[in-house]
Structure 1
Amino acid sequence: METTPVVGKRQLRQRKPPVAPAEPDFDSEEEARGRSKRIKTTSRSIKKVKTPAEPELESIPANGDDVAAQGNASGSQSSKGGRGKSRSTHTKRKTPKSSKAKVVAGDKKKKSRSVVKGDAGADQIEKEEEENMSQDEEEAADGQAEEANEPAKRVAKSIKSQASDAEGHAELVGDPIADAVARERWPHRYRRKESGSSSLGNARMETPEDIRARRHYDFCKVDGVMFELMDDAFVKAEDGQPDYICRIVEIFEGIDGKPYFTAQWFFRAEDTVLKECGKDLDKRRLFLSEDRNDNPLDCIGSKLKIVRVEPNTDLDAKSKRLPERCNFYYDMSYSVAYSTFENISPEIDISKEVSTSIVSSESANKEKKDTNLSPSANKTLRLLDIYSGCGGMSTGLCLGAALAGINLETTWAVDLNPDACQSLQINHPKTHVRNEKAEYFLSLLKEWEQLVDEFNVKNEHVVDTSGDLENSDSEEDDGTKLPKGVFEVAKLLNICYGDPQNTGTVGVKFLVHWKGYTSEDDTWEPIDGLCDAKERIKEFVVNGYKRNILPLPGTIDVICGGPPCQGISGFNRFRNGENPLEDEKNQQMLVFVDIVKYLKPRYVLMENVVDILKFSKGYLCRFAMASLVDMKYQARLGLLAAGAYGLPQFRMRVFLFGARPSEILPQFPLPTHNVILRGRGPTEFEPCLVALDENADRSVLKDELLLGDAISELPEVTNDELREEMPYGEGPTNEFQRYIRMSRRELLDYSFGDEDQGHKLYDHQPLCLNEDDFARVCKIPKRKGSNFRDLDGVKVGSDNICYLDPEIPRPLLPSGKPLVPDYAISHLKGKSLKCFGRLWWDETVPTVVTRAEPHNQIIIHPEQDRVLTIRENARLQGFPDYYKFSGPIKQRYIQVGNAVAVPVGRALGYGLGRAFLKIKSDGPVFSLPSNFSLVGQVPQPKEVEVVFL
């Protein structure tokens, strides 16, 4: 069955330009010249920042590298934005149209893009214009504006202003296009106050900037150079700006009698969200956009040769096979919406040679054969979870993919925390879990590939003789007496890269079981010391290959992971904002990218905290995107709030999808629930916030979930609860509780095969507070909003700053320590409401924390004198009740708090499953089925074939 229709269309869509308010008709040339030069944006008040200067291009050298070098001085461009106010993240303000160069005649003020529509009076329009200008000035004065990833509006510079003999240098050539044909191809140029679009290749939505035409042409001449429709050219920019690059998609005479052309713009890498991180990409590589606008004909500069190439991952083929006089090439499109780099759709590219390719059919066919395989119902797709933690993200992805009809399995997982690895292994017994550094894992993969090639094991057929570790003691002694001090390898049990026994030597090591010894005597030995055990090594490699103990390049379907970047934390006083990647605490971003580059998965999903967009102007996130794009992966960036997918918390995380050129780039799932808003992401990346448009129908969203919805029916426990598992007692009271109690089989989780693990409650234990903290918690009133300020001896001034009551002796605990500790009074300079704060049933939590101490956070149960249990925190993260955690109590809190919320991963997994099924709907987002959030079985999306020209 088809999924439910998309709820609410975005203002800025991937395939169609946005619809803007209507503008007045112009019945005369004088009125036409009165069009405003000031380009207004939407309510976000985008600011513009000029890009650095670039040398003017007087001529085009035959060598395209010279052109690329001359024309690549484009710097970062930005926009200013008012943050605005919003009650919930399911609503998204209108996304501004990202246009490039724009020149319009006259100096009359144009209508602001506001809520005013139709025939609003001029006074009202001017009032709104002034208010917007005042707001912009105030923001600039306060220094509150942030850079935006939307390129600044480009203003083409008329060559006429620089030439004394300018008259006649730009002219329309030849007979005009037949009137009937022109009106059919460009109807928006010939009608008044009408909307609509053409069915031909030049179809587009009418916007207020559209200049009405008198007639259209196929040819024009600028400075003696002939240009034809669909030619590519430089366009002169303002002084200090690099020349822009465009395709000429319209040539026409306006009703004011002046010649114009419509430019469809190309982006250089540094003009996109990549900014400075894009400067290392191929200088001749461009990205086609759907952005267009009208400009005077004399803005056209030199003619260019731009070639479209196949989106192939062969990094060398493009540059080697480019035509000799090719100035630039393009293989992807770029859209500001969700910072999307994507395969070019026919709707965007209407060039004369859309099928132009420099990649041989053999190479393209190989790419398709290797990666573009439609999954069958019986085929298991393989996922590698790096920095896996306890497995929240990969678990959610697999559950969501299963709902789409895709059998995705976490085949490998890597994490440095041994307790987190144990938790993942308990819940996913089929997964090859490795407790090691990610960089060691990458080194091991390279060594493993060499061993596989050395022993030619891909063609070997041997019986799997590798047993479990507990069977290593069962080797029969053949009676052979070994000389004293001589050891014989009975079996190799495992392989790693590193120094597991702290010998001071890092390298490839095998875990060896020695003949005649027990498993307690097993040791890690370097491969160089096993020269006499070649057969044992070969036996291990052959059987390891058969059991997929390690991935090989090209064998992985999905890599997901959240590389820790502790160098961006606000708690790190020594953050390196100038060169974030030189900070050792941010090195895992490089490792993650290197693993993707080596393994070449079909899909990549990277997750991280929102601070990655705030620190150093988002450099680390831009670097990750630039790395994917440089590897010829499609890419899309989104910010998702956990509460928008059915949880009583707000935590927002950043997600970056990558897809090989032969795959469909996954769309982000629109929210299913209202959510109480707590904070926002950076204004710069607001176009990446996954949310409904402000004018969308919000009635389709379910009510926000509250704390009581998630945990109210759980059994009562005390501060010193010791039971690892217990019966539920009461039954579920709402849909969320029924859903969270579902069995593995009901949720399509086949980590244990078809086995059902029963319905016991695990990990319902709180952190056992010390005697003093427990005494304080017991004195916190059981009512909404209570905290340490309700304790005896605390006063609160009119400025909301608390202090100790000087008129009474300071209350003490039985231990002799103060009832109200000093840190509670001094935290946040006396304004804190968090210390020993008690949650309430009708609230949500800002985020699930990794520490359960109540000293500076609100984590006390509403009606019980204890902090929330591990299981209660796990429910706030969406972990099913069957999911067990391993390790000490504090470690289990850390695992739950660090995890990606399972419902978010589940929604992303459903979108990933759609991509595997080749489902490509319009736009960068899609709507989940109406019953998606609370059931284990939903209608599977219909598979469709998508073919790119």
Structure 2
Amino acid sequence: MIVVDLFSGAGGLSEGFHQEGYKIVAQVEKEKWACETLKTRMSYHFLKNNNDLDLYGTYLRSVKDYKHLEQSREVIFKKYPHLKERFGYEILNKKFGNPQNDENATSLKDIQKMIENALIYNGENSVDLIIGGPPCQAYSLVGRGRMKESAEKDSRNYLFYYYLNLVKEYKPKAFIFENVPGILTAKKGKVFEKIKEEFENIGYKIVSGETEIDKENVLDFADFGTPQKRKRVILFGYKNNFNLVYPDFGKHKYEWDHQLVTKNVISDLRNLQPGEGDDHLLVDYIEKDQSELKSYQMFMRKNSFGITNHKSRTIQPRDRKIYELSIKLALNGEQLKYSDLPHELKTHKNETAFLDRFKVHAWDKLPHTVVAHISKDGHYNIHPDIEQSRSLTVREAARIQSFPDNYYFEGPRTAQFVQVGNAVPPIMSSVIAKSLKDIL
């Protein structure tokens, strides 16, 4: 089936569709480094399909830093020069919006033209499926609380109209619209009612889940084999005359022969002290007997040449002491509250807000939700090993998000963290892709 992916990010949602043999002809994403990651991932899938993954390994070994990206890619382009042209057609680094109001935005008409060109380049003339999730912090409960009145004016509230208009233009059989739970309750449900009405007007029915009570249709991706508590909504839309049912995601959930606690997810990765590691360098795995690895860890290592994006932040001595206190408490199932810190470790007098700003991914617990804020500091994503006393690396966060180890994130570390935190976990996208095959 022919797929267009909107608001693609680093490709977490599209990854499962790649794996299941869908043909993704265009991906639209506004962030530069996320687009570079999409290009690298496209290279991976292309080389894998051509039985030439060793060349992908050669590329990873040639990467020194993000500033010489094009130079590093020449090792691939030298053998497959058409890939550079394909990038230009299929990876669209564009921001939806009105160019008259935002000089960085591209009009819907121009983006449509680019998607048309991508279809022609691929020898296709129609789109079967549109996937994506418009950024909508204004919908989230936290976002609405922080922005208050400004949420009414936030342009992100209206990004779904670009999605809507592309559905109207290409008339796919169906679409997948991933979002935060707040989309179902914003303005006491009126926002979602408006969304349903808008899609109804163009001939589509959109449903939020298996029950008719929308607010009960929030999914926890942990229930489908992702090693993380991550509550999201998967909206499914289809042409009115198709009379489809909501996909049965449970049928294709991943089953593991062990608990998905933090230890079974990241403990096989190299230990690091704060500041150690490398943002880009490909590093060999620690040699371990296969029997010592958990099945999830082995799954993450499949078709991988080693570990990348595994560098620990440097931290202040004060923060390291706080991390040590947090880890000791986590061993007893407790969480450090800011108000309980010794006086000398406190940096401000507000002891009522953000009491839980320090949080450990405890060894014996399911990891908590990784979000893009990890790019700003690591306080909410502390590694559980007191001997390391640091925050998670990009690779460890990616493991929790279920990105395979061969998934390389381009750009500076801050951009890598944002890409990982904003993504749909690939394991969940695989579940979605398999489930859609059953009904489309």
Tell me the TM-score range normalised by the shorter chain. Answer: 0.7 to 0.9
- Relative contact order, CA 8 A, sep 6+: which one is greater? 2
Partner of 1:866: 390
Q: Does residue 637 in structure 1 map to residue 161 in structure 2?
A: no
Report the CA distance shift for 1:854/1:625 in structure 2 as closer, same or farther (over 3 A): same
> Hey, what's the Cα distance between the residues in 1 that align with 2:182 and 2:426?
21
Q: Which residue of 2 aligns with 1:413?
A: 27
Q: What residue is the counterpart of 2:300 in the other structure?
A: 740
Matched, 1:711 2:282: no
Cα deviation, residue 759, structure 1 = 2.1
Q: Flag the 1:671–1:709 CA change in 2: closer, same or farther, 3 A.
A: farther
1:480-629 matches, within 5 Å, as 546-548=120-122, 555-568=126-139, 569-575=143-149, 583-629=154-200
Is the aligned partner of 1:653 residue 2:232? yes
Cα 1:441/1:603, change in 2 over 3 Å? farther
Q: Is the Cα–Cα contact under 8 Å of residues 669 and 911 in structure 1 kept in the other structure?
A: yes
Taking the aligned partners of 2:406 and 2:378, their CA distance within structure 1 comes to 30
Give the equivalent residue in structure 1 for 2:212. none
Q: What are the superposed Cα offsets for residues 736-764 of structure 1, whole Å, 9 maximum, x if unpaired?
A: 11111112xxxxxxxxxxxxxx4211112
Alpha-carbon distance in 2 for matches of 1:446, 1:705: 42
State which of 8, 18, 37 in structure 2 corresponds to 1:388.
Answer: 8
State the SS of the aligned residue for 1:412.
strand
1:880 corresponds to? 404
- Answer yes or no: is the 8 Å Cα contact 2:186–2:192 preserved in 1: no
How far off its partner does 1:892 sit? 0.9
Please tell me the residue identity of whatever aligns with 2:262. Answer: L
Partner of 1:769 in structure 2? 315
Q: Does the 8 Å contact 2:29/2:94 carry over to 1?
A: yes
2:223 corresponds to which letter in structure 1?
Answer: A
Measured at CA, do residues 840 and 545 of structure 1 come closer, stay the same or move farther in structure 2, by a change above 3 Å?
closer
Contact 1:859 1:868 in 2 (8 A): yes
- 1:98-497 superposed matches below 5 A: 381-399=1-19, 402=20, 407-429=21-43, 432-439=90-97, 440=106, 442-446=108-112
Structure 1 residue 621 displacement after superposition = 2.5
Who is 1:822 aligned against?
Answer: 348
Cα distance in 2 for partners of 1:706, 1:672 equals: 21
Q: State the Cα distance separating 1:726 from its structure 2 match.
A: 0.8
Instruction: Output the CA distance in 1 between the equivalents of 2:109 and 2:91.
Output: 16
Q: 2:227 touches 2:261 (CA, 8 Å); kept in 1?
A: yes
Q: 1:672/1:822 Cα in 2 relative to 1: closer, same or farther (>3 Å)?
A: farther
Report deviation, 1:433: 0.8
Q: Are the structure 2 counterparts of residues 599 and 575 from structure 1 closer, same or farther at C-alpha, using a change threshold of 3 Å?
A: farther
**Aligned-residue offset at 1:593:** 0.7
Q: Please state how far the C-alpha of 1:734 moved relative to its aligned partner.
A: 1.3
Q: Paired residue for 1:51? A: none
| Structure showing the higher helix proportion among its residues | 2
Determine if contact 1:384/1:558 at 8 Å carries over to the other structure.
yes
Report SS of the residue matched to 2:234.
strand
Distance (Å, rounded) in 2 between the aligned partners of 1:773 and 1:411: 46
8 Å contact from structure 1 (residues 383, 408) kept in 2? yes
Instruction: List alignment gaps of at least 5 residues for structure 1.
Output: 1-380, 453-540, 675-699, 744-757, 795-801, 812-818, 917-949
Alpha-carbon spacing, 1:718–1:613, altered in 2? closer, same or farther (3 Å): same
Q: Which amino acid aligns with 1:773?
A: D
Once the two structures are superposed, what CA deviation does each residue of 1:567-591 show, in whole Å capped at 9, x if it has no partner?
Answer: 23234433467xx5x6423120111
If the length of structure 2 is used for normalisation, what is the TM-score? Answer: 0.74
Any idea what the Cα deviations from partners look like across 1:105-163, whole Å, max 9, x if unmatched?
Answer: xxxxxxxxxxxxxxxxxxxxxxxxxxxxxxxxxxxxxxxxxxxxxxxxxxxxxxxxxxx
CA apart distance, 1:384: 1.0
Cα drift, residue 857 of structure 1: 2.4
Is the Cα contact below 8 Å between 2:252 and 2:434 reproduced in 1? no
2:347 is the alignment partner of 1:727: no
Correspondence for 2:366 among 819, 844, 852: 844
| Distance change >3 Å, CA 889–CA 671, structure 1 → 2 | farther
Q: Match for residue 51 of structure 2?
A: none
- SS in structure 2 opposite 1:656? strand
Quote how far apart the aligned CAs of 1:855 are: 7.1
Kindly tell me: are residues 781 and 903 of structure 1, through their superposed partners in 2, closer, same or farther at Cα, counting changes over 3 Å?
A: closer
> Is the deviation greater in 700-709 or in 640-649?
700-709
In the aligned structure 2, how far is the partner of 1:714 from the partner of 1:652?
Answer: 26
Give the whole-Å Cα distance in 1 for the aligned partners of 2:257 and 2:108: 43
**8 Å contact kept, 2:269–2:285:** yes
User: How far has the Cα of 1:548 moved from its partner?
Assistant: 4.0
Give the superposition deviation at 1:770: 4.0
Quickly say closer, same or farther: Cα 1:423–1:858, change in 2 above 3 A.
closer
Between the aligned partners of 2:313 and 2:350, the Cα distance in structure 1 is 20
Identity fraction in percent: 25
8 A Cα contact 2:133 2:177, kept in partner:
yes
Q: Following the alignment from structure 2 to structure 1, what is the Cα–Cα distance between the partners of residues 170 and 14?
A: 18
Equivalent residue letter for 1:597 = K
CA RMSD, aligned part only? 3.1
Instruction: Tell me: CA distance 1:391–1:903, structure 2 relative to 1, closer, same or farther (3 Å).
Output: same
Q: Which residue number corresponds to residue 298 of structure 1?
A: none
- Separation in structure 2 between the aligned mates of residue 781 and residue 868 of structure 1, nearest angstrom: 13
Of residues 882, 886, 889, the one that matches 2:413 is: 889
Report the alpha carbon displacement of residue 778 of structure 1 after superposing the two structures with TM: 4.9
Distance 1:397 1:441 in 2: 27
Letter in 2 for 1:648: P
SS of the equivalent of 1:768 reads: coil
Q: Secondary structure at the match of 2:2?
A: strand
Q: Could you report, residue by residue, the CA deviation over 1:747-790 in whole angstroms, capped at 9, with x for unpaired residues? A: xxxxxxxxxxx42111122333345434543565545146656x
Structure (1 or 2) with the larger CA radius of gyration: 1
Structure 2, unpaired ranges of 5+: 44-85, 98-105, 210-217
C-alpha deviations, 1:506-562, integer Å up to 9, x for none? xxxxxxxxxxxxxxxxxxxxxxxxxxxxxxxxxxx7xx774249x8xx611211111
- Structure 1 residues 409 and 765, CA, compared in 2 at 3 Å: closer, same or farther? farther
- The structure whose residues are more often strand, as a share, is 1
1:617 Cα deviation after fit: 1.8
Note if contact 2:363-2:384 (Cα within 8 Å) is conserved in structure 1.
no
Give the whole-Å Cα distance in 1 for the aligned partners of 2:201 and 2:4. Answer: 22
Judging changes above 3 Å, is the alpha-carbon distance between structure 1 residues 646 and 591 closer, same or farther for their aligned structure 2 residues? same
Q: Look up the match of 2:215.
A: none
The question of whether the paired residues in 2 share the 8 Å contact of 1:603 and 1:659 is answered with yes
1:777 alignment partner AA:
Y
Q: For 1:717, what is the secondary structure of its paired residue?
A: coil
Offset from partner CA, 1:657-684 (integer Å, 9 cap, x none): 122335855523117779xxxxxxxxxx
CA distance in 1, matches of 2:122, 2:349: 53
Query: Structure 1 CA distance, aligned partners of 2:380 and 2:297?
Result: 26
Q: Taking structure 1 as reference, are residues 869 and 856 closer, same or farther at Cα in structure 2, changes over 3 Å only?
A: closer
> Structure 1 residues 858 and 878 mapped into 2: Cα distance closer, same or farther (>3 Å)?
closer
Amino acid at match of 2:108: L
Which residue is 1:668 aligned to?
Answer: 248
Equivalent AA in structure 2 for residue 397 of structure 1: F
Offset of 1:866 from its aligned partner?
0.9
On the 8 A contact 2:224/2:253 being kept in 1, the answer is yes
Query: Secondary structure in 1 aligned to 2:353?
Result: helix
Given the superposition, is the C-alpha separation of residues 610 and 704 from structure 1 closer, same or farther in structure 2, using an over 3 Å criterion? farther
In 1, are the aligned partners of 2:381 and 2:392 still within 8 Å (CA)? no
